[in-house]
Amino acid sequence: MDQAELPEIAHAHVAFDDGLTLECGLALRRLTVAYRTYGRLNADRSNAVLVCHALTGDQYVAEQHPLTGKPGWWEMVVGPGLPIDTDRFFVVCANVLGGCMGSTGPRSPRDDMDQPNPPRWGTDFPPVTIRDMVRAQKRLIEHLGITRLFAVIGGSMGGMQVLEWAASYPDAVFAAVPIATAANHSAQNIAFNEVGRQAIFADPDWLGGTYWAHGRVPARGLAVARMIAHITYLSEQALTRKFGRRLRGAQAAGSFDDTFEVESYLRHQGSSFVRRFDAASYLTITRATDWFDLAADHGGDLSAAFRGTRTRFCLISFSSDWLYPTAESRTIARALNRAAANVSFVEIATDKGHDAFLLDEPDFHRTLAGFLAGCAEHAGLPA
Amino acid sequence: MDQAELPEIAHAHVAFDDGLTLECGLALRRLTVAYRTYGRLNADRSNAVLVCHALTGDQYVAEQHPLTGKPGWWEMVVGPGLPIDTDRFFVVCANVLGGCMGSTGPRSPRDDMDQPNPPRWGTDFPPVTIRDMVRAQKRLIEHLGITRLFAVIGGSMGGMQVLEWAASYPDAVFAAVPIATAANHSAQNIAFNEVGRQAIFADPDWLGGTYWAHGRVPARGLAVARMIAHITYLSEQALTRKFGRRLRGAQAAGSFDDTFEVESYLRHQGSSFVRRFDAASYLTITRATDWFDLAADHGGDLSAAFRGTRTRFCLISFSSDWLYPTAESRTIARALNRAAANVSFVEIATDKGHDAFLLDEPDFHRTLAGFLAGCAEHAGLPA
């Protein structure tokens, strides 16, 4: 397996020299937010759509990825004439705080040392929360001269950010689309994340978190973490449909090679992931998702997070998603109802599991396009 | 983590000097089967019940475990007056071929070298199948002078052995109870097993499988494998009920310590497992379960495996088991129906997941006791 460090890339970004004080109380002296935009901001700055990426996503939503060379992760959704129509909307996506694609995170040089070439933060990077990620995005949005977002949209951990945006900055969010997400992690979600973290810690190249200093990468542990997570992104039906019990070739029974096609697929998922993602960021960001608990942040009452909101919500879940099952979206919908919010809730029937929000799901795309069109009309956006 | 090798224990066993030729074509020159018995074999040898253990179980069914000091894994089921009543039945359980509790497996000395102190097999141990395991058990049963088993009973991988017994030796099995099992592994089951294997391979102490020769144990990788598997043994509801999002103490958000109770629990599951189980056995046995495919062994028709059978079957599944869901038992029941077999099928309503077959489930225990009592009457066993 390739043990090379992630290449250094010059990502488009903005730097805030006044930094950011985190929820944990620690202050980053300098905050960098790497981001990409698509489409054009209109004259009254009313057509901005913030897309929030998932755990291992990034800001390269609708263009070739600079590391992998692959298409952007939401090219089916964001673009001219697509559900998030870049002929109409100005789309912004920022790499999350704690990430590894240009925003401040464990790979950034420490800013708490007065020396010319400080080491990287590594595992000393302060813990960040979903709220911290959203506060960093807010800084970017203000920097772009945008007071109110037409919409905030995201799936999975991106959906948590959408919920946090709506709760923290209700007047800045006209419409919110939390997709395949939850207001907190179940014990099972925490458990899967924890096993992934333990796999990273068990890698000999983890070196107690000092791997960068030794030119190493805990690639095998990170790959195992990705493989575990990847299973949870799919459904049993999707795995059966894609692979079943098909063998790769006429190999002998009992070999520990990847004799089943599903094994080969998983190994590929693991090894390609480590070429684009950093282990310390994986730890930092999974922790943020485990700690996210919007009800707990509002006195144990999820509806209190949305009291008085005028944001229009569209909750979308997928019937075969067992990582963030429909019941989680239903919990959010009920809380929004208790807060007398404007909310629609759609469960998309699919056997593709959690990953459906990234795949070709015409019903999902129609739902998203329809909701945004209706909101644009209410907001008085030119057609 | 304790890196010590498993202690050597003198397990009760029988050795067959004529060995066993495996399905893969390789021949073990010597076969050892370690086993335990409970109750007494009656005069006409008609009251024997073979219990088949699961992936990480062993022959210590109803007595203190010699390594952990804990009670036997089925003390709630096997004993005087219990569903498998040792006042009535003679219960036998053998450590599976490929295991690490005394039966021939990767820890055994190689028998293909003519030297006084041969090394252990390690990863050179030949691949074994569920059918090989059953053939080794058959040798033990013959050695005990038993021609026909009153019943063969087992859960999970133990249930696969029950199915294989009924298919391979129909005249030797009066009653069969496959519990929480499947006639083959789904792609998702293979995927979870594969990630566990990759975690073991990623451990620096794995040493390409030569860890014994260096006095090492791939304890962290094996612990991660166990943690992954353990999540699949429970249900989301069970995890939520047991742990929810409860914290262990007033630790700071974002720490990578085990701040959630569910994390602490999983870590404990991982670290205690490595003190009683061997990594090479884990690989060998998980592979056997992935390869098991009773329909494929019978021309693609599962019912052909049971054609003409006179065995009485009782299939038991658990409603919240997502590792071997009820649909898998239903597939077996349909095949048995097509073979005109005598079959009853019970789904036990529980939120405890796959592990329910090891837990205090009164409905399950009543079902098992009732089925065995009915069969005993038909078999003419003295009450």
pLDDT in tens, B323-371: 999 999 999 999 999 999 999 999 999 999 999 999 999 999 999 999 9
Nearest to B239 among A191, A256, A287 (CB): A191
Chain A's closest residue to B24, CA to CA, is A253
ipTM given for this complex: 0.91
HSE-CB of B95 using CA atoms within 13 angstroms: 22
User: Whole-angstrom Cα distance, residue B71 to residue B64?
Assistant: 4
Mutation for testing the A interface, residue in B190, B211, B237 having most A CBs under 10 Å: B190
A chain contacts of residue B186, beta-carbon cutoff 8 Å:
236, 239-240
**Length of chain A (residues):** 383
β-sheet bridge partners, residue A91: A38, A49
HSE-CB of B25 using CA atoms within 13 angstroms: 2
Chains A, B: CB contacts within 8 A come to: 171
User: Whole-angstrom Cα distance, residue A109 to residue B94?
Assistant: 58
What is the predicted pLDDT for the residue at A4?
A: 58
What is the predicted pLDDT for the residue at A251?
A: 55
- Measure A142 CA to nearest chain B CA, in Å: 27
Note whether B190 contacts A263, CB cutoff 8 Å: yes
Residue B200 near residue B221 (C-beta atoms within 8 A): yes
A chain contacts of residue B201, beta-carbon cutoff 8 Å:
220, 256
What is the predicted pLDDT for the residue at B382?
A: 83
What is the predicted pLDDT for the residue at A256?
A: 75
B chain contacts of residue A192, beta-carbon cutoff 8 Å:
231
Note whether B195 contacts A231, CB cutoff 8 Å: yes
Q: Would you name the residues of A annotated as active-site residues?
A: 156, 321, 354
- Measure A310 CA to nearest chain B CA, in Å: 30
| pLDDT above 70 as % of chain B | 97
Mutation for testing the A interface, residue in B192, B194, B237 having most A CBs under 10 Å: B194
Residue type, B205: D
A chain contacts of residue B184, beta-carbon cutoff 8 Å:
245
Q: What is the mean pLDDT of chain B?
A: 94
Domains along the sequence of chain A with CATH: 13-185+297-379 (3.40.50.1820), 190-285 (1.10.1740.110)
Note whether A262 contacts B192, CB cutoff 8 Å: no
Helix segments in chain B, DSSP class H:
130-143, 157-168, 187-201, 219-233, 236-242, 261-273, 279-291, 326-338, 362-379
Note whether A202 contacts B199, CB cutoff 8 Å: yes
Q: What is the DSSP letter of B153?
A: E
Nearest to B195 among A123, A254, A266 (CB): A266
Q: Using a cut of 0.90, tell me whether the model's pTM lies above it.
A: yes
Note whether A199 contacts B199, CB cutoff 8 Å: yes
What is the predicted pLDDT for the residue at A383?
A: 75
User: Whole-angstrom Cα distance, residue B295 to residue A138?
Assistant: 58
Whose tokens are 């794995």? That residue is: B206
Query: Within its chain, how far is the Cα of A68 from the centroid?
Result: 18
Q: Residue B214, exposed/middle/buried by CB under 10 A (0-12, 13-18, 19+)?
A: exposed
Please give the torsion angle defined by the CA atoms of residues B64, B65, B69 and B70, in that order, rounded to the nearest 10 degrees.
Answer: -70
What is the predicted pLDDT for the residue at A315?
A: 98
State phi, psi for A376 to the nearest 5 degrees.
Answer: -60, -40
Note whether B254 contacts A199, CB cutoff 8 Å: no
pLDDT in tens, chain A (383 residues): 344 577 888 899 999 999 999 999 999 999 999 999 999 999 999 999 999 999 999 999 999 999 999 999 999 999 999 999 999 999 999 999 999 999 999 999 999 888 889 999 998 999 999 999 999 999 999 999 999 999 999 999 999 999 999 999 999 999 999 999 999 999 999 999 999 999 999 999 999 888 988 989 999 999 999 999 999 999 999 999 999 999 887 554 556 777 899 999 999 999 999 999 999 999 999 999 999 999 999 999 999 999 999 999 999 999 999 999 999 999 999 999 999 999 999 999 999 999 999 999 999 999 999 999 999 999 999 87
Query: Within its chain, how far is the Cα of A371 from the centroid?
Result: 21
Euclidean distance between the first and the last CA atom of chain A, given in angstroms as a whole number: 51
User: Whole-angstrom Cα distance, residue B123 to residue B125?
Assistant: 5
What is the predicted pLDDT for the residue at A212?
A: 87
Note whether B262 contacts A123, CB cutoff 8 Å: no
- Measure B97 CA to nearest chain A CA, in Å: 14
Mean pLDDT of B196-204: 94
Which residues are within 8 A (CB) of A366 and not within 5 positions of it... i.e. 6 or more apart?
A83
Which residues are within 8 A (CB) of A51 and not within 5 positions of it... i.e. 6 or more apart?
A61, A74, A78, A84, A91, A92, A93, A153, A154, A158
Structure token digits, residue B219: 């304890």
Chain A's closest residue to B271, CA to CA, is A198
Question: Confidence class of residue B268 from pLDDT cuts 50, 70 and 90?
Answer: very high
Note whether B195 contacts A243, CB cutoff 8 Å: no
User: Whole-angstrom Cα distance, residue A220 to residue A242?
Assistant: 25
User: Whole-angstrom Cα distance, residue B71 to residue B60?
Assistant: 9
Mutation for testing the B interface, residue in A130, A195, A243 having most B CBs under 10 Å: A195
Note whether A239 contacts B202, CB cutoff 8 Å: no
User: Whole-angstrom Cα distance, residue B54 to residue B232?
Assistant: 14
pLDDT tops 80 at residue B131:
yes
Residue A333 near residue A345 (C-beta atoms within 8 A): yes
What is the predicted pLDDT for the residue at B259?
A: 84
Q: What is the DSSP letter of B293?
A: B
Euclidean distance between the first and the last CA atom of chain B, given in angstroms as a whole number: 51
B chain contacts of residue A190, beta-carbon cutoff 8 Å:
245, 260, 262-263
Chain A's closest residue to B284, CA to CA, is A254
Chain A's closest residue to B322, CA to CA, is A236
Note whether B239 contacts A203, CB cutoff 8 Å: no
pLDDT tops 50 at residue B1:
no
Mean pLDDT of B6-29: 93
Nearest to A255 among B127, B234, B256 (CB): B127
